[in-house]
Structure formats: C-alpha cells, structure tokens
A and B are shown apart, each in its own frame.
Chain A
Amino acid sequence: MWTIDNEVIGRDPAEATVSLTINGKACTAFPNETILHCARRHDIYIPTLCELDDIDHTPGTCRVCIVEIVQAGREIEQFVTSCNTPVGEGMVVQTRTPKVRAMQKLQVELLMADHLQDCATCTRHGDCELQDLAQFVGLKENRFFDRQRTEAREVDESSPALIRDMRRCVRCQRCVAVCRYHQEVDALVMSGTGVNRLVSLRHGFEQASSTCVSCGQCVLVCPTGALGERDETDRALDYICDPEFTTVVQFAPAVRVAFGEEFGMPPGTNVQGHVIAACRKIGVDVVLDTNFAADVVIMEEGIELLERLKAGRKPTFTSCCPAWINFAEIHYPDILPLLSSTKSPQQVLSTLAKTYLPEKLGVPQEKIRVISIMPCTAKKDEAVRPQLAIGDMPETDVVLTTREFARLLRREGIDLKDLEPSEFDNPYMSEFTGAGAIFGTTGGVMEAAVRTIYAVVNGEELEDVELTQLRGFEGVRTATVNLGGPFGDVKVAMCHGLGDTRALVEKVRSGDADFDFIEIMACPGGCVDGGGSLRSKKAYLPLALARRETIYNVDRTRKVRQSHNNEQVKTLYRDFLDAPNSEKAHKLLHTHYSERSRDMHQTVKEVWDDITMSTMLY
C-alpha cells in the first residue's frame, strides 16, 4: 500500500507493455516504471547521486539524473529527473543532448557549492560517489564554492564510534532512509531549510546522547565522506610502533570473508591467512582470533541459557552484538534483564588477553594493548563502556573497523594480495571451531549454541551439526529444536536487522511471542555486512550471500565444529577459569547493562522555536 514496487527483476517481460525510445533506441518498460530503471535494464547509463535502488530510495532531490523527454502527442521537450519520473507510451527520452549534459554539469557544480572539497584529506578519497559524478559530468570549474559557509557546518565528533561531517553532506537522505525504513531506529531527521538544510539527530541531540545505536548502516550508504567511523589508525600505529607495548590483534569472524575485495580479490574470498601475514608485517606482536573467543562465548552463554531455562526464565536474548545492546538500553530498557550477561567475543578475547595471556606469555598485564579489527562501528562504543574495563584500563584498547584496517595497510604500503598467507601461531587463544566461525552471520550464534547445549544436555554430539532449519535469510526466523533431557523442545528465533528486531521485541513485551532463546544481530545479514564493513558504491549489501557462503565453508572444512571440543578452550577452563559460569568466569566474562533511555519530551514552545517557514501571525 505504501511502497512503490520498483522491483521488476523476474517480472514477466510480457508485462513490459510500454514502448518508448531512449537515445533513439526502442525500449519496452513496465507500467509505472521509472525512466532510470528502464534505462538501466537497457544498459543505458544515466548519472545519479541521491538515488539508491537497493533500498528503493528515490527522493528526487539531487536533480542530477535529468533527462529530456517529449511526451507522446506533444511537441515541447521537458526536463525531468529520471529516477522518479515514470515512462509513458510513445515517450521520447534523450539522456545526452548538449542541454541535458549542461544541466547535469551545472547541477553538480551547484552541489559542490557547499561541499567541502578537501578531497585529499577525506577518508573517501578515491572511493567517493561525488568524485565519480564530477568526473562523469566533466566538471571543470567550481564557481560557486563558498568555503566560509561550508566550514561553518556541524562536525559531530561526540560519539566514540561515528563522526558526522556535515561539511561533506550532499543531502541525499540515504542515511535517513536506511535508518528510518530498514533499521527503524529513526534517529535521523532533516533539519533546517534552504542552504541550512542538513541531516541531524532527532530533537537536536548530539550523536553520543541521541537515540542512535551506532549500527553504522548509514555509513554503508553514504555516497561521500559525510558519515564515517572515528578514525583510530593513528592510535593503533602508536601502540604497534611503541616497543614498550606488546600489541595483540584480534579479528572478527566476518572480517576474513569481507576484506579481500578492497585489494581486488573476488568477493567472499577467505583472506584469514593474508590478514595474519599483514598484521605480522606491520609489527603486531601477537595475532589472536576472535573466533576463539566466540567458542568461549558459546560455553558461557550456553550454560547460562540452561540455567535460565531451568529457572523458567525466558526468553533469553543473545548479547554479542553491541548495536543490539545499545538498542535495548536506549529503546527498550525494560527488557535488559532478558539479555544474556555473557560478554561479546571481542570483550571476552580482550579480557583473556589481559588476564590469561600475561600468565602464559610472561608479559605484564599493563604492557599489553589489544587492537581489534571488526566489521562494526558499534564495537567502538562497546570498547569504551565503563563496565568493560579492568580497573582504569579498558579491556579493548583500539577498535579498527574493516575500513580502517584497509586504510592502515595502505599507509604501510601493503597490498594484501601480494602477501604469502600465514597461520595463527599462538598456542593459547587462536584455535577455533566451525561453531566460532559462523558467529559472523545471522543464525550462526544460535547454531553454534545448539551444537554445544545439545551435547551438554545429552552427553553426546548432535548427529548432524548443520542445522539448516536455522539458516534462512528472512528477517525473523523461528524454529523448534529438541534439546532432549529435561528440556525437550525449545523455541528459538533469529532476527537480523533492527526493523524486524523492533517488531519482535514489541511482541515479546506484549506477550505475543513465546520463545526460549532469541539471537539478535543488528545489521541486516549479521556481521558479514556490519556497519564497519567496506563500502560498496551505489549498492547496499550486495555481497552478503557470498560472504555468508564462505563462512559456512569455513565451518564445513574445520575438523572440529563444536565449541566445547576446542582444545584451547578446554585448556583455558582447565588452567584458568575452572568451568563455564564459575565464579571466576562470571567475574571476567560476564557484564551488566544499564538503562540509557533518552528524554524525548518536548514542549510546544520548544517546537515552535524550531519551526521555520511558518509563523504565528497576529
């Protein structure tokens, strides 16, 4: 009812009943299809900026995709935006006349009038849709740039995770759309009018105190350098280059399958060995695997879940996704008691690297610095949570997103594909099982947990470890799993993307959903498409399935596929932690959550003071 179905792939060509010509070429189109869509199907390029087909976003605001049309039965030409203008029978479309090209070029020049063009210092340099566009339209001059006006724009650096640089915003509103319609966090609004119109946080909050959960999906769709992560490559280098410190790097399950394309390797290539080699090359002392910590998390969370089930407490929500934790704390604090207290794999690994590892390596705790490489912006938030510190010392010292890690390697002159892949060599914290590996994709945590819980309850391994009933890709999937023993059937749900998460949480709160265990990943697809992943130009999450397939392949090719059978995990419990959920494990590997709901009250007076272009008239 409310969406215009832009999807024509798979539609019966016989339904393409509208005939028109584009640049003289006869084309057929579906009724109500846009000119742009039709042109793309016929392999005719039209430059665009604000439009993003993958999220059905055609606000028609940049006005770059101007084409000339003559409607049937008329003589005069009109200039329309192809992204949101429908085809018409007998329409004649021209995309490259001198006038159209001049108009497209002028449009880009007007866009540049208040866009900060210090490209060399921008993180998007060389990977920017606006730069591409300027090249396409052949922009040669920049008559209207007003530096003073542009530099006066807001740069919000309040958040540990995300930086919003409004000097580089082109007002495409893709971030607003993805936050509003896909993640349904709806933290972003359009504020101001005229040249002051910009994206801002709801109710004028700063990023850090807003309803934003730092999932970073907005960063993935931003065409320019307006949205990005807080760059911490320098802090990472400071530690790596300082001989005083023993630097430990960990990288997440999803990083190894979502990184190679930055260096020209096919999407979904497993570059685990390359990443290890690169870390060694830049001088990292110890390379560990977050997958190992994922196995530990399964031990802790699995036993915790069984305890809760015994006590009749349900449902239990997973706790490994920091954007989900933010979401629960900010938007639904009443459900916090339902969250597992187990720390995320990143924090489990960092904690062990500063408690268990020093004993094993004979390095003082205070000399260890943990750098984690994550496909995630919210992990930066997580690392600075006060409850995730050992005394004054944070457990995780620096979080680099996948994008920053790529930047770091370029700064060090490293091309990933030139490296000889290497292996983990730490005997304490780098072995991982297939269960740990699949943490990176939606349903993976649940599947890994079931493999271990089943064995704990029944004293024997699950016959078929690949739980295909958990592996779909729908936003919410539910299943019933027979755990045997006193538990019998348990109802589980897996949810990815915060839009579906919100709906599920609402149902849980209203008593309309009955589940025992619920896995939540804030990003659509899970960590393989986390908000800290590499960006794809003009596309949203195009590589999810390739990355996911590689993750399942990693699982399939592991000799050991259950967390509890990880030898290094067994050693950890034997030598250090005692048992899952032991007092020591509880102290080190569990955490707590706190309400952070925002005061959203406003008075009419405050609202009136914010209103422009409409006034009281007496």
Chain B
Amino acid sequence: MAQVAFGVWDGVVHDASKRAGDAQSSISALKNFNEFDDGNPIRAFFGDRGFFVFDETVSLVDGLFHYMNKAAEESCGACTPCRMGTVLVRDALDAMRRGIDSPLDFDEIEILGEQMTETSLCGLGKTCSVALLDVIRNFRDRIEKEVAVKRPIRAQHGMAYMTAPCIEACPSKINVPRYIDYIRDGKPENSLGVLLQKYPMAATCGRVCVRYCEEACRRKFVDEAVGIKTLKRYVADQQKGPNALKFTRDMIRKPLADGMRVAVVGAGPAGISCAYHLLLQGYHVDLFEKHEQAGGMAQIGIPSYRLPKDTLAMETDIIAALGGRFLFGQQLGRDFTVEDLFARGYKAVFLGLGCQAGTALGVEGEEHARGGYHRGIDFLLKVHDHVAGVRNLDLSGEVVVVGAGNVAMDCVRSAVRLGADNVHVVYRRTRQDMPADDEEIVAADHEGIHLHTLTNPTRILTEDGNVVGVELVKMEQTEPDESGRRKVRPIPGTEYTIPCDTIVAAIGQQVEDEAMVESDGIAFNRWKCVETDDALLTSRPGVFAGGDCVTGPSTLIYAMSAGLQAARNINDWIQLGTIRFFKRTRMRQLLEDNRILANDVVETPVRAAYRVHNPALDPELRKHMFGEVEQTISNREAYAEAQRCMRCYRVYSVITQHSIPEGAV
C-alpha cells in the first residue's frame, strides 16, 4: 500500500509528518498507486484537483515543471491567460530546476497561476495551476529549499497525460474536444484527420454511434450535451464532394517486406478497423469476408435509412486505397481454416467474426414456423437485399417484433417501410428499460408503431407452417432486490393472442458456426463468445479476436476500438513476440480506479445555447422510403454547435522511480 507523505486534494491538505487533516481515511482508499508498471513505484502524482507525494525525496519543482510543460504543449492558445501563463510558468520552473536564475519568483508564479485558474476559457487553463498553487501555498518551504541551492535538480522519470471526460468515455479514445476545436478553427478536414487517426469509418460512426461521449459531456449541466455525433457526421462529409480528402499510400508510416502479411477474418467494423491500422503500420492485409460486400453488421444490420450503403462503401474503400485486399465469399470453417491461413504464410490472424446468428425465442411453435418467421438479423439481411434490388421482400398485415434493442428497432422501422399495416413491438420489460438508443425509439414512435411493454410471447400459432398469430402473456415487475434491480415475471392467466402475419425474433445474436471455429483451436467462453486475454489474444497463438464475437452483440465504436487495439498488439506480437506495456492505458486505469476524473458540475454561469439537430425528413414521407432520414447540418450550424464545447481538458502526471517502458510513441 502506497503511503501518502503529503499532498493536497480538493483543497484538503494532507501531511503525514504533521498528521494534518483526516487525511489517512480518504487517502488510504487510493487504489493501485503502488507501482506504475512492474517494479516501478509511483513517487508523486499531479492532477487537476491537487497532488500527492508518496516519496518525500521527490523534487516538486521538477514535477510541477513536467506537469506545466504538458499544459503548455497542449494549450490551444485561444485565451490569453493560458496561452502565455503556461509558457511563462513553465519557463520559470525550468530555470529553477536547472539551477539558474528564474525570470519569475514564486510570488509572481503564484499570481500567474491564480490568473490562469480564475480567468481561463476552458478546463485546461482553469485546472492546470491547481497543483502548483497547492504547493506554493502549503509547502512553500519545500520548494524554496529545493531552489535555494542553485544547483540542477536531478532528472526524474514519469509521464504526463491530458484527457477529458468525453475522451475517457469513448471506447476508441477519440480526442473529442480536439476535433470540435478544428471545426471552430475552420478546419473541418483536420477534424476528420483527428478521427482518421483512430478509425476509418467516421461517416458511419457519425450516423449510428451510441455516443458514450455525449453521456459524459459536462455541457449537460448547462443545457444539453454537445452534439458530438452530429458534428462527426458533418466533418465526415469532408470525405465527399469535389474537394474530398484523398487517401494515399504515403499515409503508411513504413511499408514492410512482402512476407509481413496478416489475415483479417470478417470485414465488419472490427476487421476494417484492424486492417486499417495494420495497413498504416506497413503490413500487407487480406480480409476474408463471407458476404459479397464489406461492412459486416454496419452493412447488413443497419438499414439504409440510417446509413446509406454508398456512405459505408466510401469508407470500406479506404482499405483498398491503402492496399488492403478483400476476398469476398470466403467463410471461415467452410472455405478455409485458421490452420490454412498460417500455412499460407500469414504471420498473424485477426478474427472479427461478429455475432450474426439470431437467438431463438424458445417458445412453443417456433420450430414449426417457416413462412412469416424471421430472426432479427436475418430479417435485416432480407431488407438489405430488398433495398439492393436483389430479392423483393413484401410485407403486409400485422407484424410483431419481439425485443427492444437497436436491432429490434431497425426491424420495426424497416417493416413500416416495407408496407406492413401495423407493426407491434413486444418487450417483456418497461419502456424505460428498452436497451435501444432512445432516439431510435422516438423515431420509430413517430412512424406510428404499437408498443406492448411488460408483455412476452409464449406461443407461436401456425397453419401449414405459416405464422397466423402469437400468444402473449402480461408481465409484472417484482419488488426491487438488494441491488435495486427489478425483475419481471409472467402474470398467470393473462395470456391472449393477437393474429399476425409476420414475427421477427430480435432478442439477441451469437457467433455463427461456433463449433466449427472451436475445432480450429479457438476457445469459447461460457457465454459462447471467443475467449481472449486483455491483449485480445485468443487461446491459439498468433490469433487475435475482437468486436462482437468477443463481447457479444455490442456497438460499432467498441468493435472499432477493438480493431485498433488488436492491430497494435498484432504488431508487437509479430515484431517482438510479446505485447508491450502501454503507458496511456495504465494511466487511464489509474484515473478510473480512483475516480479521479470528477464529473463535477459547471459552477460558473454559462449562456444557454441549445444544440442543433440533424434536419430529418417528415415521418409521413420517410415511412415509405429507405432513403436517409437524417441530413447533415450546415456550415453555420456546425460552427454554432462547435462553440458549445467547453473543452473539459485535464492534465495528470506521475513521477516514477524508473523510466516508464515505451509501449507507444
């Protein structure tokens, strides 16, 4: 257990030597602060709310220099106090640690620190002097002693990290304030460039992302979260039109030798993202896809009224532009095995298999239902073929969709467009419990669906194998259990049937042909997902996996982040035979374990400016077509929306005993 020698946190002073504060209680709760990496103790920690010192011999002047140096590097320069203050203070601390005359004394540094804290525009400037002021005001004797000797201070090891709540919330760790800043600056192409550093599917993400970032956005304490997804879609439009950004091979940092080949199985979001990053690192990548098009669930699982197929194709084409090769109609287990891939000389394999087998309802009559019965994902595939003009899918009469996730909502809204007279949603829990994105539920509601909540199917009625109705039962909520969670149970005797022509079971998916994959030496866990370690390595050496086949049905952004992580680890595995320590991941863990990135409310008044919304087609019109419902916002709206970001950047740094291994540049 790391012992805090002294420090200040949220204004509370801790000093072990003086037994000041009721320190030990809150501080002893610090988790995982002993070592940063193996055998490398953390000597001090600096953050937006204060600092902790674990090793009294640490140099505060040097530590504060490194912290302020990071702030100066990351200062956007928009506002006066942070732009100049960070540089002036950094230079003064630098002189002090070098043992030469400083242009500013501690009094002057304090005034500048206060100016930055009190008057800066954004979170970075407002918080980057907190630790500095805490030191000057409470432990001034220590720093004066450090500089009194006028000798260079011995260099210390460590790292500094800047982040924001939206960044930490994003699985792909997109630098959200940065790309919003670039819109404000008038450089939407740079904004897209920031996104492209993490994944190639910005336009797709800008349409269908579930927006963890917006949930974390602190603007909600003022009015509403910033329209981060809306802005992403706006900048992704830089990929279109006469001045579209060009993807060229010089994006590849260093092309590798011909033998450096990696196979990616499954060209969905995880596979595309993994292939993209491998290509950028110089590998030769082949993508094996069982369908005839790339995109995976984004292709077949998301209807074109939400994500037009040409938009997706524009993004999957990036892989080809970078030299990646798609091998369509190639299914793992049927057309090739993992064993084959290694035999063909691939150095590593990434499995992005997805979860494409729909889960059955498990009710009576289901096994006899042929005509009019679909699993959710199969239904969407048929819708896809219908829109593509491959095979017609006519619907009429009553359609019942079971389930309330995003796939269910996609089935519902597609059924409306295909001409169903009435579309019913059957869900066993309440409206509040529905797991689909709320915007999707609202949009479906506008398109006139019938919602049956606290209702569950018990039997499917068929005649000659054709669906003619479904028996439902009413459900009720139980009293909350110890964890506060309420379950549901059927109310006996409340069974009733409704006649219907089509039933869509959209209650979940799992990995297809699991047994066949398993026989290839890939272990599955008890949730029937591919088992991997933290590095996304499967039970078979050299085979990595990510996306839905590892997590179960999840989101586009998680899949893309898994692709990025896998690509990084595949590179390590091929080049070094081992996977390196990634210091930024460790820093994030430290912040998360100790809830350091406070979700604090906005204290100063901010002018209310409500978010802009994507213009949408009228429900009466859109009900009859598969054209895209939402449109892109205008330049002017994008500028206005970008102005709403408050840039909640924070800097964190550690001083460690030894140098931190470099897992990344």
Contacts and interface: CB of A to CB of B under 8 A. Distances in A.
6 contacts: A59-B78, A79-B118, A194-B74, A194-B76, A607-B189, A607-B193
Given A2-B637, A60-B121, A605-B251, A194 B87 contact: yes
A89 B73 CA distance: 39
A117 interface: no
A3 interface: yes
Interface string A79-102: 111001110100100000000000
Contacts of B72: 194
Interface in B156-176: 175
A443 B664 CA distance: 63
Interface stretch (A184-192, A295-303, A390-398, A428-436): A184-192
A543 interface: no
Interface string B71-83: 0111111111101
B665 A2 contact: no
A103 B179 CA distance: 31
A348 B612 CA distance: 49
B79 A63 contact: yes
A614 B175 contact: yes
Contact of A189 (B83, B186, B246, B665): B186
A121 interface: no
B194 interface: yes
Given A2-B636, A79-B118, A192-B77, 15 more contacts: A2-B637, A2-B641, A61-B78, A78-B604, A85-B605, A107-B115, A110-B85, A113-B88, A186-B635, A191-B187, A194-B87, A195-B84, A603-B248, A603-B251, A618-B281
Contact of B604 (A85, A111, A176, A605): A85
Nearest to A179: B186
User: Taking each of A3, A79, A85, A617, which has the highest tally of chain B beta carbons within 10 Å of its own beta carbon?
Assistant: A617
B120 interface: yes
B424 interface: no
B525 interface: no
Interface string A1-23: 11110000000000000000000
Contacts of B607: 4, 32, 34, 84-86
Contacts of A88: 605
Contact of A60 (B79, B111, B637, B665): B79
A258 interface: no
A557 interface: no
Nearest to B245: A604
Interface in B98-154: 111-112, 115, 118-121
Interface string A585-618: 0000000000000001111110110110111111
B122 to A, nearest CB: 10
B606 A614 contact: no
A600 B231 CA distance: 22
Contacts of A189: 185-187
Contacts of A607: 189-190, 192-193, 245
A197 B77 contact: yes
Looking at A86, A186, A607, the one whose CB has the most chain B CB atoms below 10 A away is A607
Given A63-B79, A106-B115, A194-B77, A188 B247 contact: no
Contacts of B120: 63
Interface string B601-619: 0011111110010000000
Contact of A61 (B80, B178, B187): B80
B196 interface: yes
A103 B118 contact: yes
Given A144-B84, A601-B243, A604-B245, A618 B186 contact: no
A240 to B, nearest CB: 42
Interface in A52-88: 59-64, 66, 69, 71, 78-81, 84-86, 88
Contacts of B639: 2, 180-181
B408 to A, nearest CB: 32
B185 A191 contact: yes
A602 B83 CA distance: 29
Interface size band for B: 35 or more
Contact of B78 (A4, A197, A601): A197
Contacts of A186: 186, 635
Interface in B218-272: 243, 245-248, 250-251
Contacts of B606: 85-86
B186 A202 contact: yes
Nearest to B117: A79
A171 B78 contact: yes
Interface in A562-583: none
A202 B78 CA distance: 18
A510 interface: no
Nearest to A617: B664
B197 interface: yes
Interface in B344-396: none
B74 to A, nearest CB: 6
B96 to A, nearest CB: 17
B664 A610 contact: no
Contacts of B247: 603-604
B119 A616 contact: no
Interface string B273-292: 00001001100000000000
A617 B173 CA distance: 11
Nearest to A66: B119
B640 interface: yes
B193 A86 contact: no
Contacts of B510: none
Given A196-B77, A616-B280, A181 B636 contact: yes
B584 interface: yes
Contacts of A59: 78
B309 interface: no
A103 to B, nearest CB: 6
A114 interface: yes
Interface in B613-637: 635-637
Given A197-B76, A604-B245, A607-B245, A190 B612 contact: no
A618 B187 CA distance: 25
A616 B118 CA distance: 33
A190 B243 CA distance: 20
B605 A602 contact: no
Contacts of B612: 1-2
B30 to A, nearest CB: 27
Contacts of B664: 617-618
Interface in B195-209: 196-197
Contacts of A34: 607
Nearest to B636: A2
Contacts of B85: 110
A608 B76 contact: no
Which of A91, A602, A604 is packed against the most chain B CB atoms within 10 Å?
Answer: A604
A618 B243 contact: no
Nearest to B174: A614
A468 interface: no
Please name the 10 residue pairs, one residue from A and one from B, whose CB atoms are nearest each other, closest first: A197-B77, A2-B640, A189-B186, A607-B193, A190-B185, A110-B84, A79-B118, A600-B243, A614-B175, A603-B246
A147 to B, nearest CB: 14
B571 interface: yes
Nearest to A59: B78
B335 to A, nearest CB: 32
B184 interface: yes
Interface in A504-551: none
A148 interface: no
Interface string A164-206: 0000000100001000110000101111111111000010000
Contacts of A197: 76-78, 83
Interface string B634-664: 0111011100000000000000000000001
Nearest to A102: B111
A602 B77 contact: no
A603 B83 contact: no
B184 A190 contact: yes
B190 A617 contact: no
Contacts of B245: 602-604, 607
